[in-house]
A and B are shown apart, each in its own frame.
Chain A
């Protein structure tokens, strides 16, 4: 099946630092989503991207849909302790039929913020 390579697997940073993570694939995607999951909770949608080159912000979070449509990036500026959690990327491939209903997920980036 399709795979998304998400990196880094984990990050340990100091409060106030900026964070960058990314997802790459060998296949083209026409939608990229970024989720955050807190311990014991379900993933929560942070940002959705629908066009190649699109740059979208949500507060201190900024995500970009790569020009090649095979990658996406998430940046968090001025991190705070509540940013701790697992961040997932997800993509929808640009094919028709049943696969249109399904997302492919990265394995997540575990972010730890040291106060």
Chain B
């Protein structure tokens, strides 16, 4: 398995509270991604990073921000959580070689916003 961990694995929070999810990798891969997975929608890209301090938006970035201050960590923040952000969040990493021919996924974080 690729060395990817996500924390927390499960979280319950209330509407309006800030939430930060962490993705940590031990592979020294350049690219990191945050996805959310919802029934009927599959995997949708929230934000991605192509290097330290280099990030860009995905297709569902509203309400989310990210930061990458070092290669191994990619943080996803919900500034003010809403019920529509209840989902399973996956982090993925990809090696620099050839760009994104492969992405390896973490175990996921289940977030419930009440």
Q: Say whether B48 contacts A88, CB under 8 Å.
A: no
Q: List the A residue with the shortest CB-CB distance to B41.
A: A107
Known interface pairs A43-B90, A50-B101; A105-B42 also in contact (CB < 8 Å): yes
Say yes or no: is A98 at the interface (Cβ < 8 Å to chain B). yes
B86 within 8 A of A: no
Whether the pair B107, A103 counts as a contact (CB closer than 8 A) is no
User: Are A48 and B107 CB-contacts (below 8 A) given A42-B90, A102-B48?
Assistant: no
List residues 22-80 of chain B with CB under 8 A from any CB of chain A: 31, 40-45, 48, 50, 56, 58-59
Given contact pairs A41-B107, A42-B108, A50-B101, A98 touches B56 in the complex (Cβ within 8 A): yes
Q: Which residues in A have their C-beta under 8 angstroms from that of B102?
A: 33, 45, 48
Say yes or no: is B99 at the interface (Cβ < 8 Å to chain A): yes
Kindly report which residue of chain B lies nearest to residue A45, judged by CB atoms.
Answer: B102
Docked-complex contact B43 and A101, CB < 8 angstroms: no
Interface residues of B in 1-34 (CB under 8 A from A): 31
